[in-house]
Structure 1
Amino acid sequence: MTQWAQSLIRISRFEVEGLQKRLAEVAARRASAEMRLACLDAEREVETERARSDGEAALLLNAFLDGWTVRRAAAEHALGEVTAEEQGARDALTSAFEELKKFEHVSELTRLAELAERAKRETAAFDEIALRRRAAG
Structure 2
Amino acid sequence: MSNWSQSLIKLASYEVEVLQKRLAEVVDRRMAAQQRLARLFAEGEAETAHAASDPDTGLSLSAYLDGLRLRKAAIQAEIEVILAEEAGARDALAEAFEAQKKYEQVAESARLLEVKAQGRRETAALDELGLRKAR
The answer as to 2:76 corresponding to 1:76 is yes
Residue 43 of structure 2 aligns with an amino acid whose one-letter code is E
Distance 1:12 1:41 in 2: 43
State the shift of 1:17 in Å: 0.4
Distance 2:115 2:21 in 1: 37
Within 5 A, what are the aligned runs for 1:51-130? Answer: 51-130=51-130
Instruction: Tell me the residue number matched to 1:45.
Output: 45
Deviates more, 1:2-11 or 1:124-133: 124-133
User: What per-residue deviation string (whole Å, max 9, x for no partner) do you get for residues 36-76 of structure 1?
Assistant: 11011001001100110111210001100110111000000
Instruction: Tell me the residue number matched to 2:30.
Output: 30
What secondary structure does 2:65 align onto? Answer: helix
Q: TM-score, normalised by structure 1?
A: 0.97
Distance 1:91 1:106 in 2: 23
Q: How many residues align?
A: 135
Residue 120 of structure 2 aligns with an amino acid whose one-letter code is K
Distance 2:33 2:88 in 1: 17
Query: Runs of 5+ in structure 2 lacking a partner?
Result: none
Q: TM-score, normalised by structure 2?
A: 0.98
Residue 11 of structure 1 aligns with an amino acid whose one-letter code is L
